[in-house]
Amino acid sequence: MRNQERLESADVVIVGGGVIGLTIARALLMRGAGRVFLVERAHLGAEASRAAAGMLAPQAEADGADAFFELASASRDLYPAFADALREETGTDIELERTGTLYLAFTREDEREIEHRYLWQRRAGLSVERLSADEARELEPCISPHVRGALRFPMDVQVENRRLIAALSASIEKRGVRLLLETNVESLAVERGRVAGVETSRGFLSAPVVVVATGAWTSFLTSTDKAIPSLSIEPVRGQMLCFETNPALSARHVIYSPRGYIVPRLDGRLLAGSTVEHAGFDKRVTAGGVQAITSHALEIAPALACLPLVDSWAGLRPRAQDDWPVLGACSEVEGLFYATGHYRNGILLAPLTGELIAEQITTNITPPQLQAFSPDRFHLATVGHVR
């Protein structure tokens, strides 16, 4: 029941001000979508988008080409123009660092893994280089002498995700977004099979189109029509450590092993990650997390042992049942769109997610790249159809 104040009406309401909600807002405003409201219960970029490491690395961990790999690679390839446009619009440099990514092998099994990855990616015509242990250490002298070999992915790069949030926030404010911060969306209003708006902690906001970009909290968003089930997204905790480097101990590449990664930032910080934990909505850093991340980072670069640990944090990755993002129109409710479940790759997938969702909303046509990620795939699965 709507027992609260009625707010202005919107053309589109986006729920959630993480990187996904922000890129969708920007893409909609660029297409002239009218009154675009973004409702965020805390502040912009408060959650996973701030916690991330900012790696844009679809190739480094991929063992084959599928629809997800195509989506992720296409989004990565949008980044140079995206970064330039954001700098022009807002003056903020999102620090797109294009040195590349190294993936190291320390065991026989790691060597088999990187050999397989090298072969399929070469056959697919992708850009990947095989390095001996000496070549890897020549590129990055901090790498452990125990390394047995490495791959270099020159196209897998990184971005400073906190700057990205700042740039996107400035861009959408300039373009006239209506922001409702510190405002919780309590439910989706659905009437006769179509969206009517959202019930918020400040009142009812009416809109014919609602985009759900609520990350790990998506399952809490229920509808006033109880026949519409909420989407199942689980939180997966990732902890991060941050060290202060010195010139003798810095790296330029993002450096992975099968167990962890280190990410050098331009300001001299070095991030090390991460954990993959099912700990509910608990975002605390734990002793076990610090120990695991430290030991994996030291396997990559033992000299990090002398660096001061200056910060640590954890965030909740939004994961759908099949690990793939959930993107696009929900066929059960007209006007309802999802953009969630980006799990370990939301920063990477953000530019393309924004473009594709805005295209679907403004043209009413489903871009072919969205088909494999439709929210309908879960409903279809329950009645016997599989993707």
Q: Which is nearer to ligand FAD, 17 or 197 (CB)?
A: 17
x/- track of binding to ligand FAD for residues 331-360 (CB under 6 A): ---------x-xxxxxxx------------
What residue type is 73 in one-letter code? S
DSSP-derived secondary structure letter, 91: S
Q: Does 289 bind ligand FAD (CB under 6 A)?
A: no
Distances (CA, A) of 302 to 87, 106, 143, 225, 360: 37, 13, 8, 56, 49
Backbone Cα Rg of the chain: 21
Binding residues for ligand FAD, rule CB under 6 A, total 43
Using CB under 6 A, which of 13, 14, 16, 225 touches ligand FAD?
A: 16
Q: Which is nearer to ligand FAD, 133 or 319 (CB)?
A: 319
Using CB under 6 A, which of 10, 13, 40, 204 touches ligand FAD?
A: 40
Exposure letters 332-361 (e unless 16+ CB within 10 A, then b): bbebbbbbbbbbbbbbbbbbbbbbbbbbbb
Using CB under 6 A, which of 58, 149, 264, 273 touches ligand FAD?
A: 273
Q: Which is nearer to ligand FAD, 40 or 140 (CB)?
A: 40
Minimum separation from the CB atom of position 116 to ligand FAD (A) = 23
321 half-sphere exposure, CB direction, 13 A CA radius? 10
Minimum separation from the CB atom of position 201 to ligand FAD (A) = 8
Alpha-helical regions (H) of 17-107: 19-30, 48-51, 67-90
Distances (CA, A) of 109 to 106, 169, 299: 8, 44, 15
Q: What angle do CA 369, 348, 129 make, to 5 degrees?
A: 100
Q: Which is nearer to ligand FAD, 240 or 297 (CB)?
A: 240
Exposure letters 10-23 (e unless 16+ CB within 10 A, then b): bebbbbbbbbbbbb
Q: Does 181 bind ligand FAD (CB under 6 A)?
A: no
Q: Does 185 bind ligand FAD (CB under 6 A)?
A: yes
Using CB under 6 A, which of 214, 245, 360, 374 touches ligand FAD?
A: 214
Q: Which is nearer to ligand FAD, 139 or 272 (CB)?
A: 272
x/- track of binding to ligand FAD for residues 53-82 (CB under 6 A): xxx---------------------------
Using CB under 6 A, which of 100, 197, 215, 351 touches ligand FAD?
A: 215
Count of CB atoms within 10 A of residue 376's CB? 16
Count of CB atoms within 10 A of residue 267's CB? 9
Per DSSP, the chain holds a count of helices (H) and strands (E) of 9, 21
Q: Which is nearer to ligand FAD, 80 or 141 (CB)?
A: 80
Place of tokens 């640590």: 312
Using CB under 6 A, which of 58, 289, 318, 328 touches ligand FAD?
A: 318
Which residues would be at the binding site for ligand FAD (CB under 6 A)?
A: 15-21, 39-42, 46-49, 51-55, 184-185, 213-217, 221, 238, 240, 273-274, 315, 317-318, 340, 342-348
